[in-house]
Amino acid sequence: MAYPGLSVYQKYTDQELFDLLQSGDQVAYTTIYERYIFTLLNHAFNKTRNREEARDIVQEVFTRLWARRQQIQITTNLAGFLYTSVHHIIIDQFVHSKVKDKYFASILAFAAQSHEATDHRTRENQLAAIIEKEIAGLPPKMREIFELSRKHHLSHKEIAERLNIAEQTVSKQVSNALKILRFKLGIIAYLYFIIWHK
Protein backbone atom coordinates (compact mmCIF):
# COMPACT_ATOMS: atom_id res chain seq x y z
CA MET A 1 0.00 0.00 0.00
CA ALA A 2 1.37 3.40 -0.97
CA TYR A 3 1.42 6.09 1.68
CA PRO A 4 1.47 9.86 1.14
CA GLY A 5 4.79 11.53 1.88
CA LEU A 6 5.73 12.46 5.42
CA SER A 7 5.24 16.13 4.58
CA VAL A 8 1.55 15.39 3.96
CA TYR A 9 1.19 13.59 7.29
CA GLN A 10 2.79 16.49 9.10
CA LYS A 11 -0.16 18.64 8.01
CA TYR A 12 -2.67 16.26 9.60
CA THR A 13 -4.28 17.10 12.92
CA ASP A 14 -3.61 14.93 15.96
CA GLN A 15 -7.05 13.40 15.63
CA GLU A 16 -6.50 12.54 11.98
CA LEU A 17 -3.15 10.95 12.82
CA PHE A 18 -4.67 8.99 15.67
CA ASP A 19 -7.46 7.69 13.44
CA LEU A 20 -4.85 6.52 10.94
CA LEU A 21 -2.77 5.01 13.73
CA GLN A 22 -5.70 2.91 14.89
CA SER A 23 -5.95 1.44 11.43
CA GLY A 24 -2.30 0.38 11.62
CA ASP A 25 -0.74 3.25 9.69
CA GLN A 26 2.96 3.20 10.57
CA VAL A 27 3.67 6.56 8.97
CA ALA A 28 1.01 8.16 11.18
CA TYR A 29 2.69 6.54 14.18
CA THR A 30 6.09 7.89 13.11
CA THR A 31 4.60 11.35 12.64
CA ILE A 32 3.06 11.30 16.12
CA TYR A 33 6.40 10.14 17.50
CA GLU A 34 8.31 12.95 15.83
CA ARG A 35 5.68 15.51 16.83
CA TYR A 36 5.81 14.70 20.56
CA ILE A 37 9.08 12.91 21.32
CA PHE A 38 11.05 15.97 22.46
CA THR A 39 8.29 17.59 24.52
CA LEU A 40 7.55 14.28 26.23
CA LEU A 41 11.23 13.67 26.94
CA ASN A 42 11.48 17.11 28.47
CA HIS A 43 8.31 16.52 30.49
CA ALA A 44 9.53 13.15 31.79
CA PHE A 45 12.95 14.58 32.63
CA ASN A 46 11.35 17.40 34.63
CA LYS A 47 9.56 14.76 36.69
CA THR A 48 12.39 12.25 37.15
CA ARG A 49 15.49 14.46 36.84
CA ASN A 50 17.12 11.51 35.14
CA ARG A 51 17.65 11.55 31.36
CA GLU A 52 18.05 7.80 30.97
CA GLU A 53 14.88 7.04 32.90
CA ALA A 54 13.04 9.78 31.02
CA ARG A 55 14.01 8.11 27.72
CA ASP A 56 12.85 4.71 29.01
CA ILE A 57 9.52 6.16 30.17
CA VAL A 58 8.80 7.92 26.88
CA GLN A 59 9.85 4.86 24.89
CA GLU A 60 7.38 2.83 26.94
CA VAL A 61 4.65 5.38 26.19
CA PHE A 62 5.17 5.01 22.44
CA THR A 63 5.53 1.24 22.66
CA ARG A 64 2.16 1.02 24.41
CA LEU A 65 0.64 3.50 21.97
CA TRP A 66 1.42 1.20 19.06
CA ALA A 67 0.71 -2.08 20.82
CA ARG A 68 -2.67 -0.94 22.15
CA ARG A 69 -3.66 1.37 19.30
CA GLN A 70 -6.90 -0.46 18.56
CA GLN A 71 -8.03 -0.53 22.19
CA ILE A 72 -7.10 3.04 23.14
CA GLN A 73 -9.94 5.50 23.55
CA ILE A 74 -8.95 9.12 23.92
CA THR A 75 -11.50 11.24 25.80
CA THR A 76 -9.62 14.55 25.66
CA ASN A 77 -6.92 14.90 23.00
CA LEU A 78 -3.81 13.07 21.87
CA ALA A 79 -1.39 15.42 23.63
CA GLY A 80 -3.27 15.09 26.91
CA PHE A 81 -3.32 11.31 26.54
CA LEU A 82 0.44 11.13 25.97
CA TYR A 83 1.26 13.40 28.91
CA THR A 84 -1.07 11.41 31.15
CA SER A 85 0.57 8.20 29.98
CA VAL A 86 3.93 9.55 31.14
CA HIS A 87 2.44 10.25 34.57
CA HIS A 88 0.93 6.78 34.82
CA ILE A 89 4.18 5.02 33.98
CA ILE A 90 6.00 7.08 36.59
CA ILE A 91 3.35 6.13 39.15
CA ASP A 92 3.63 2.45 38.17
CA GLN A 93 7.38 2.54 38.71
CA PHE A 94 6.92 4.35 42.01
CA VAL A 95 4.45 1.80 43.36
CA HIS A 96 6.69 -1.08 42.36
CA SER A 97 9.75 0.39 44.06
CA LYS A 98 7.75 2.08 46.88
CA VAL A 99 10.03 5.05 47.31
CA LYS A 100 11.93 7.16 44.84
CA ASP A 101 12.47 10.79 45.78
CA LYS A 102 13.17 11.69 42.16
CA TYR A 103 9.44 11.21 41.45
CA PHE A 104 8.33 13.76 44.06
CA ALA A 105 6.80 16.23 41.64
CA SER A 106 5.01 13.53 39.68
CA ILE A 107 3.46 11.97 42.78
CA LEU A 108 2.21 15.29 44.06
CA ALA A 109 0.74 16.10 40.65
CA PHE A 110 -0.93 12.70 40.59
CA ALA A 111 -2.43 13.25 44.05
CA ALA A 112 -3.73 16.67 43.07
CA GLN A 113 -5.56 15.44 39.98
CA SER A 114 -8.98 13.86 39.90
CA HIS A 115 -8.58 10.25 38.75
CA GLU A 116 -11.75 8.36 38.06
CA ALA A 117 -10.30 5.14 36.72
CA THR A 118 -10.31 2.26 39.18
CA ASP A 119 -6.70 1.30 38.65
CA HIS A 120 -5.60 4.80 39.59
CA ARG A 121 -7.64 4.65 42.80
CA THR A 122 -6.05 1.28 43.50
CA ARG A 123 -2.61 2.86 43.31
CA GLU A 124 -3.66 5.54 45.78
CA ASN A 125 -5.01 2.88 48.12
CA GLN A 126 -1.74 0.96 47.90
CA LEU A 127 0.20 4.07 48.82
CA ALA A 128 -2.16 4.86 51.69
CA ALA A 129 -1.86 1.32 53.07
CA ILE A 130 1.94 1.53 53.08
CA ILE A 131 1.83 4.84 54.92
CA GLU A 132 -0.79 3.73 57.45
CA LYS A 133 1.43 0.81 58.40
CA GLU A 134 4.34 3.14 59.14
CA ILE A 135 2.15 5.61 61.03
CA ALA A 136 0.96 2.76 63.25
CA GLY A 137 4.59 2.18 64.17
CA LEU A 138 5.09 5.70 65.55
CA PRO A 139 5.36 6.15 69.33
CA PRO A 140 1.78 6.19 70.74
CA LYS A 141 1.69 9.85 71.80
CA MET A 142 3.34 11.02 68.62
CA ARG A 143 0.92 8.96 66.54
CA GLU A 144 -2.08 10.41 68.39
CA ILE A 145 -0.92 13.99 67.84
CA PHE A 146 0.00 13.34 64.22
CA GLU A 147 -3.39 11.80 63.41
CA LEU A 148 -5.29 14.62 65.13
CA SER A 149 -3.35 17.04 62.96
CA ARG A 150 -3.45 15.24 59.62
CA LYS A 151 -6.61 13.10 59.76
CA HIS A 152 -8.86 15.28 61.89
CA HIS A 153 -7.45 18.59 60.65
CA LEU A 154 -7.10 20.09 64.11
CA SER A 155 -4.78 23.04 64.58
CA HIS A 156 -1.79 22.73 66.87
CA LYS A 157 -3.58 24.98 69.35
CA GLU A 158 -6.69 22.77 69.32
CA ILE A 159 -4.62 19.63 69.82
CA ALA A 160 -2.74 21.25 72.71
CA GLU A 161 -6.01 22.18 74.41
CA ARG A 162 -7.54 18.74 73.86
CA LEU A 163 -4.51 16.86 75.22
CA ASN A 164 -3.61 19.48 77.84
CA ILE A 165 -0.07 19.94 76.56
CA ALA A 166 1.95 22.87 75.26
CA GLU A 167 1.36 23.98 71.68
CA GLN A 168 5.13 23.89 71.15
CA THR A 169 5.09 20.22 72.13
CA VAL A 170 2.45 19.54 69.49
CA SER A 171 4.49 21.29 66.80
CA LYS A 172 7.61 19.36 67.75
CA GLN A 173 5.79 16.01 67.76
CA VAL A 174 4.25 16.64 64.34
CA SER A 175 7.61 17.75 62.97
CA ASN A 176 9.32 14.67 64.40
CA ALA A 177 6.62 12.39 62.99
CA LEU A 178 7.13 13.84 59.50
CA LYS A 179 10.90 13.39 59.80
CA ILE A 180 10.47 9.76 60.84
CA LEU A 181 8.02 9.05 58.02
CA ARG A 182 10.17 10.76 55.43
CA PHE A 183 13.16 8.74 56.57
CA LYS A 184 11.18 5.49 56.28
CA LEU A 185 9.03 6.28 53.28
CA GLY A 186 10.71 9.03 51.31
CA ILE A 187 8.17 11.23 49.60
CA ILE A 188 5.16 9.09 50.53
CA ALA A 189 4.82 11.04 53.78
CA TYR A 190 4.44 14.24 51.81
CA LEU A 191 2.00 12.63 49.40
CA TYR A 192 -0.12 11.56 52.32
CA PHE A 193 0.07 15.07 53.77
CA ILE A 194 -1.37 16.40 50.49
CA ILE A 195 -4.10 13.73 50.36
CA TRP A 196 -5.23 14.49 53.92
CA HIS A 197 -5.49 18.19 53.14
CA LYS A 198 -7.51 17.86 49.94
Indicate the residue among 99, 124, 153 that finishes a domain. 99
pLDDT tens digits, one per residue of 116-127: 445 556 666 766
| CA 65 remoteness from chain centre | 19
What is the rounded distance in angstroms from the CA atom of residue 150 to the CA atom of residue 195? 9
What is the rounded distance in angstroms from the CA atom of residue 195 to the CA atom of residue 198? 5
Could you tell me if 72 and 125 lie in one domain?
no
Indicate the residue among 99, 122, 150 that finishes a domain. 99
Could you tell me if 95 and 110 lie in one domain?
no
Could you tell me if 111 and 90 lie in one domain?
no
pLDDT category, 113, cuts 50, 70, 90?
low
Does residue 92 have a pLDDT over 80?
no
177-191 mean pLDDT:
65
Could you tell me if 176 and 108 lie in one domain?
yes
Could you tell me if 83 and 119 lie in one domain?
no
pLDDT category, 187, cuts 50, 70, 90?
low
CATH number, domain with residue 109: 1.10.10.10
Could you tell me if 128 and 71 lie in one domain?
no
Could you tell me if 114 and 92 lie in one domain?
no
For 153, left (φ over 0), alpha (ψ -120 to 50), or beta?
A: left
CATH number, domain with residue 77: 1.10.1740.10
Greatest Cα pair distance, the chain, in angstroms, is 81
pLDDT category, 155, cuts 50, 70, 90?
confident
pLDDT of residue 108: 53
**Residue count (the chain):** 198
pLDDT tens digits, one per residue of 22-46: 999 999 999 999 999 999 999 998 8
What is the residue range of 170's domain?
101-197
* 14-23, 37-46, 135-144, 178-187: range with lowest mean pLDDT: 178-187
Indicate the residue among 67, 99, 131 that finishes a domain. 99
pLDDT of residue 177: 81
What is the rounded distance in angstroms from the CA atom of residue 179 to the CA atom of residue 1? 62
Does residue 68 have a pLDDT over 80?
yes
Could you tell me if 1 and 64 lie in one domain?
yes
- CB contact at 8 A, 103 and 187: yes
Dihedral sign, Cα of residue 162, residue 168, residue 172, residue 174: positive
Total tally of structural domains belonging to the chain: 2
pLDDT category, 185, cuts 50, 70, 90?
low
